[in-house]
Amino acid sequence: DAGITQSPRHKVTETGTPVTLRCHQTENHRYMYWYRQDPGHGLRLIHYSYGVKDTDKGEVSDGYSVSRSKTEDFLLTLESATSSQTSVYFCAISERLGAEQTQYFGPGTRLLVL
Amino acid sequence: QKEVEQNSGPLSVPEGAIASLNCTYSDRGSQSFFWYRQYSGKSPELIMFIYSNGDKEDGRFTAQLNKASQYVSLLIRDSQPSDSATYLCAVVPSGSARQLTFGSGTQLTVLP
């Protein structure tokens, strides 16, 4: 998993509660990403970071916020979880592959919002 | 219109056959293309990448790219039951070297 860990790996929560997912990497990668994966939709980008305190929105950012206070940690927060945010969440890092960049993924977090 | 299209499947092939997975993309400026394999309950893992028109072979896998037709494919020769997984096509969109756009994946089952 390219030195990427995610916590928690599984979480069940109730609608309206805040939830924070953590992504930790040990190889000093500058770029980090949060995706969600749902049946029929593939992987969709939520937010990404290009450095400490530097973040930007992806395709499906509504209802999510992120923070990156250290290079190794990228946090995804659901301020008030909704059932539509039930999903599998993957963190990824960007790494050079030849002349290009590609992405490697963490193990994922399964989130169920009741 | 989705930017990266894949047939969702499921695609079933007998063991030993060639599995052909297809992907089309809408961004004509895309230059880099990746195939990920994802086993059920696991994270996607990179298996192939291709940047130039033509074929690229790696073991039993061959990636084919045709930029004029905006088409990329993955062939798996001598398919094995262990190849049963969902295969995701990913494209680097023009102007976004650090991002990937994913297709929704094709589920492949290799029957013993």
pLDDT, tens only, B7-41:
878 999 999 999 999 999 999 988 899 999 999 99
What is the pLDDT, as a whole number, of residue A2? 65
User: How far apart (Å, rounded) are the C-alpha atoms in residues A22 and A36?
Assistant: 14
| Ramachandran region, residue A51 (left: φ > 0; alpha: ψ -120 to 50; beta: rest) | left
Q: Answer yes or no: do B103 and A103 touch at CB < 8 A.
A: no
- For residue A42, the chain B residues in CB contact (below 8 A) are 4, 88, 102-105
Pairing label, strands A19-25, A73-78 = antiparallel
pLDDT band for A76, please (50, 70, 90 cuts): very high
From the CA of B10, how many Å to the nearest CA of chain A?
A: 12
